[in-house]
Amino acid sequence: MDDYSVKTGQEGENLVEDILTKVISALGLSCNIFSNFIFPFESVFGENGYMYAEIDKLVLTPFFIFIIEVKNECYSKADYNDTSWILKNDDEVSNPLIQNHNHKLAFCSEMSIPREKVITVEVLLKNGVSNTQSSPFTNDFVFGIEDFEQKIGLLLASTDNDQLDKTLLTSISDISRKYKDKTDTHIEKLKKAEKRQTRIRRVIGHCTLQRTDIIVCNKCKTGKLCFREYRAKSSEAQIRNSTHYLLGCSNYGKSINCDRTIYVDKDKDSTDFLNLTPVTIEQRNGWGDEMKTITLLDHVSELQATINREKAANEQLRDQLQYYKAKAARAEKCKELEAKLKEAYNQIDSLQNKLDEEIENNKKYKKLFGNLFYRKKK
Ligand SMILES: [Zn+2]
């Protein structure tokens, strides 16, 4: 991240915070906002089995928790289902929807909160691509800056039957204070996790381990395997300068002292690594499918959709009416023509009558002046 994007990223987050503060005060809501909330979560990639996640804006209402991620990037490709998106400058970045979803899972797992109580929001400030898609994740919303104010208000004002546990605010405040200055450590751990994933891909060919996975040690059965760095000797017994990684048991050097070691190394047998069975965050928490939480925004969107459907139906009716009106107008024209035709026929009839009369008259004349004609002819 260069200085410019840090600056604009911070500006974006400030803008979102200003809107949040404004909406919360305008609606008279009781909320707590935590900015750049850092918390630890269990991960096979962490040196001591833990990594950190940073949430841009964490908002607590009496009923729900909102995890808000602000992105101040302009994308040229941003399919919600793709694992990575492409920036305008062709750089590849991870899909912020997936990133935020993983933050939510880690948060829910660490805080023991049902996922239905936590709603995620991604604010794409510049965007660059049109967002007509809906998120592949349940209880997740993607907003642009133009609709953020209105929509976040409807989300924050949502209620349900159960209020959040009062002790939750205390726990979150404690974590917020404890890890406030851990941004550098967090970024350092992220970089290390990325390096480890890259190494696994290079040695194994692919990496199926998720950041939120853990691996239970199959030797002592109580420890968890996590990554450690080591400097290895090559087959020629020369010290290699590059850092290498191994999975070691968390009970190593402790009273149980478990020495289970799995290397991620080209020069070593990787069978053990391939036979690992990670425990996913879903499995650890016994999570099934996440249920949809109905928010005020969902109600309003549903109403809006109904209105739009009605509008469309009305428009269709209007078109039909227009069509029948045109048809009726044509029928009217026909009637007019028919009348004219009738009139014409009547006229013809009366002319015929007149003609017949004339002929009759002529006959009379013939009789009257028969002789005369006769004489003239002669
Ligand atoms: Zn062990």
Is residue 238 very low, low, confident or very high in pLDDT (cuts 50, 70, 90)? low
Q: How far is the CA of 108 from the centre of ligand 1 (A)?
A: 27
Which is higher by pLDDT, 38 or 363?
A: 38
In the chain, domain spans: 3-193, 202-285
Q: Do residues 234 and 243 lie in contact, with contact meaning Cβ atoms separated by under 8 Å? A: no
Q: Do residues 223 and 261 lie in contact, with contact meaning Cβ atoms separated by under 8 Å? A: no
Is residue 12 very low, low, confident or very high in pLDDT (cuts 50, 70, 90)? confident
Give the E-state strand segments of 13-60 in sequence order.
32-42, 50-60
Measured between alpha carbons, how far is residue 306 from residues 80, 96, 225 in Å? 26, 31, 53
Q: How far is the CA of 258 from the centre of ligand 1 (A)?
A: 4
Q: How far is the CA of 287 from the centre of ligand 1 (A)?
A: 26
Model confidence pLDDT, tens digit, residues 168-213: 999 999 999 999 988 888 888 888 888 888 888 888 888 889 999 9
User: Under the phi-then-psi rule, with left for phi > 0, alpha for psi from -120 to 50, and beta for the rest, what region is 116?
Assistant: alpha
Q: How far is the CA of 243 from the centre of ligand 1 (A)?
A: 23
Q: What is the residue-wise DSSP string for 278-293?
A: PBPHHHHHT--SPPPP
Q: How far is the CA of 257 from the centre of ligand 1 (A)?
A: 8
Q: How far is the CA of 51 from the centre of ligand 1 (A)?
A: 20
All residues at 6 or more sequence positions from 269 whose CB lies less than 8 Å from its CB, including other chains: none
Q: Do residues 97 and 137 lie in contact, with contact meaning Cβ atoms separated by under 8 Å? A: yes
Q: What tokens appear for 45 in the block?
A: 């990639």
Q: How far is the CA of 251 from the centre of ligand 1 (A)?
A: 6
* Percent of the chain residues topping a pLDDT of 90: 49
pLDDT at 375 over 60: no
Q: How far is the CA of 248 from the centre of ligand 1 (A)?
A: 8
Q: How far is the CA of 250 from the centre of ligand 1 (A)?
A: 7
Q: Do residues 94 and 83 lie in contact, with contact meaning Cβ atoms separated by under 8 Å? A: yes
Say which CATH topology domain 3-193 has.
Trna Endonuclease; Chain: A, domain 1 (3.40.1350)
How confident is the model at residue 2, as a pLDDT? 42
Average pLDDT of the residues in 263-276? 85
Is residue 368 very low, low, confident or very high in pLDDT (cuts 50, 70, 90)? very low
Q: Do residues 143 and 124 lie in contact, with contact meaning Cβ atoms separated by under 8 Å? A: yes
Q: How far is the CA of 217 from the centre of ligand 1 (A)?
A: 5
Strand partners, 230: 244
Average model confidence (pLDDT) across the chain: 86
Whether the CA torsion 353, 356, 362, 368 is positive or negative: it is negative
How confident is the model at residue 4, as a pLDDT? 44
Average pLDDT of the residues in 226-231? 84
Q: How far is the CA of 227 from the centre of ligand 1 (A)?
A: 13
Q: How far is the CA of 232 from the centre of ligand 1 (A)?
A: 22
Q: What tokens appear for 227 in the block?
A: 């990554």
All residues at 6 or more sequence positions from 90 whose CB lies less than 8 Å from its CB, including other chains: 76
Model confidence pLDDT, tens digit, residues 130-158: 667 889 999 999 998 888 998 999 999 99
pLDDT at 280 over 60: yes
DSSP 227: E
Q: How far is the CA of 42 from the centre of ligand 1 (A)?
A: 17
Model confidence pLDDT, tens digit, residues 312-363: 888 888 888 889 889 888 888 888 888 888 888 888 888 888 877 776 766 6
Neighbour tally for 332: CB within 10 Å = 10
Q: Of 281, 216, 280, 273, which is closest to residue 250 (Cα–Cα)?
A: 216
Q: Whole-model pTM?
A: 0.79
pLDDT at 250 over 50: yes
CA distance 335 to 329: 10
Q: How far is the CA of 252 from the centre of ligand 1 (A)?
A: 7
How confident is the model at residue 320, as a pLDDT? 87
Q: How far is the CA of 288 from the centre of ligand 1 (A)?
A: 29
